[in-house]
Amino acid sequence: MSENKLSPAELARYSRHIIIPEFGREGQEKLKNARVLVIGSGGLGSPLLLYLAAAGVGHLGIVDFDVVDDSNLQRQVLFTVDNVGESKAQTAKKRLLALNPHINITVHETMFTKDNALDIIKDYDVVADGTDNFPTRYLVNDACVLTGKTNVYASIYRFEGQVSVFNYPLENGERGPNYRDLFPAPPPPGLVPSCAEGGVLGVLPGIIGSMQASEVIKVITGVGEPLAGRLFLFDAASFTTRVLKVAKNPETNITELINYEQFCGIFPDKKENTVKEITVQELESMVNLKEDFQLIDVREPYEYDIANLEGELIPLAQVATSTSKIAKDKKVIVHCRSGKRSADAIRELEQLGFDNLYNLKGGILAYAKEIDTSMPTY
């Protein structure tokens, strides 16, 4: 790869970096010649991309297939209300180039899968994982191990955040610990909710995403000591931090990409794991015809307060202990925000003998989009 030198305009722009003795012009030119892939442009991706672009990383890749939603704006600072409904990746590219026209950006507006991961990653030097689900985290990790790329990892949940640097090249020629050395197996499905289900303090991704950007810069420039072999933990509620050592596990052996949904206990395409469904239009018809059915809402109370269909509130965690509240002699419609938690609730209840349960396809989001457009979403 041919190296590009800094232009006079860039020398002036990055002067606050260059005057740091340990950083200097050499460090800035390393940033200019680096290629960093950021997977996800949401909560973590927003500050991560903003600071990497501002710092002068010469080529950024963005992997994201989602669109901007109102509920993103509480924490995803790349976007504004004018961007709602637009492509996150394309919007991010426009915003970042407005911040720094001296960089290049490649958009990968696609889902990151085992079929395209290796092909996407191969053209980059460092990968920064800003995802929010376990299948993709394991996929990112394994793809980085197989392609010899450093994986700068971060995650957030409610008030807590984590940062580490995985698969970092060591002086002895080996690679440091990777994500599987820390977490050999994922938690059981449903044990750790997503941000949409469990919530996240709006400023937390800004804090953790900025730390993630700092680690990327350290990895590229060689300035400082990256968090390789260490896991940084931050609790915003108590403002406490911890750093844990991460050791290599000799039993960790990554030879190929696998079915990560299956590995994490998620079987979206398995026939035996499907549940009966009805559409929001069918539910509306049942209401208008005054049919006898029970409507169960398995979201959390705060979600119910934002928008509800006047169903009986039984949060997912309480479903198994609330079977006496659920009818067995008539049709029961179960719903949540998107249809995922309600499907999980139905599978759990079917194990307890229920066979009259129907999932509301698309949940509150589908109802707000297709039936009552005045209903607030989140």
Q: pLDDT digit string (tens) for 10-68? A: 999 999 999 999 999 999 999 999 999 999 999 999 999 999 999 999 999 999 999 99
CATH number assigned to the domain comprising residue 345: 3.40.250.10
Mark whether 214 and 298 lie in a shared domain.
no
State the total domains in the chain.
2
Q: If we measure between CA atoms, which residue out of 59, 132, 51, 139 comes closest to residue 99? A: 51
R_g of the chain computed on alpha carbons: 23
Sequence letter at residue 198 = G
Mark whether 169 and 308 lie in a shared domain.
no
Set 195, 219, 246, 326: catalytic member: 195
Mark whether 233 and 295 lie in a shared domain.
no
3-state secondary structure of 156: strand
Adjacent-strand bridge partners of 295: 333
Mark whether 121 and 168 lie in a shared domain.
yes
Provide the pLDDT for residue 264.
83
Average pLDDT, the chain: 93
Adjacent-strand bridge partners of 62: 38, 107
Residues 6+ apart with CB under 8 A from 212: 44, 48, 128, 130, 152, 153, 154, 163
In a domain, 11, yes or no: no
Mark whether 225 and 328 lie in a shared domain.
no
In a domain, 245, yes or no: yes
Provide the pLDDT for residue 377.
81
Parent domain of 87: 34-263
Q: Is residue 196 very low, low, confident or very high in pLDDT (cuts 50, 70, 90)?
A: low
| Rounded mean pLDDT, 72-85 | 93
| Rounded mean pLDDT, 179-193 | 81
Q: Is residue 265 very low, low, confident or very high in pLDDT (cuts 50, 70, 90)?
A: confident
Sequence letter at residue 208 = I
Strands 150-157 and 160-166 turn out to be antiparallel
In a domain, 268, yes or no: no
Q: Which of 222, 238, 263 is the last residue of a domain?
A: 263
Adjacent-strand bridge partners of 68: none
Provide the pLDDT for residue 360.
97
In a domain, 137, yes or no: yes
Establish whether 336 is a catalytic residue.
Answer: yes
Q: If we measure between CA atoms, which residue out of 283, 324, 299 comes closest to residue 377? A: 299
Mark whether 293 and 234 lie in a shared domain.
no
Two structure tokens written together for 146? 């197989």
Measured distance CA(69)–CA(200) in Å, rounded: 16
Confidence (pTM): 0.77
In a domain, 10, yes or no: no
In a domain, 55, yes or no: yes
Provide the pLDDT for residue 340.
87
Q: Is residue 192 very low, low, confident or very high in pLDDT (cuts 50, 70, 90)?
A: low
CATH number assigned to the domain comprising residue 99: 3.40.50.720
Two structure tokens written together for 69? 């939603």
Set 103, 336, 366, 368: catalytic member: 336
Mark whether 354 and 279 lie in a shared domain.
yes
Q: Which of 210, 233, 263 is the last residue of a domain?
A: 263
Mark whether 176 and 289 lie in a shared domain.
no
Mark whether 363 and 308 lie in a shared domain.
yes
Mark whether 231 and 306 lie in a shared domain.
no
Q: Which of 263, 285, 308 is the last residue of a domain?
A: 263
Q: pLDDT digit string (tens) for 201-242? A: 999 999 999 999 999 999 999 999 999 999 999 999 999 999
Q: Is residue 116 very low, low, confident or very high in pLDDT (cuts 50, 70, 90)?
A: very high
Mark whether 363 and 244 lie in a shared domain.
no
Provide the pLDDT for residue 4.
85
Provide the pLDDT for residue 50.
98
Establish whether 195 is a catalytic residue.
Answer: yes
Mark whether 235 and 327 lie in a shared domain.
no
In a domain, 2, yes or no: no
In a domain, 354, yes or no: yes
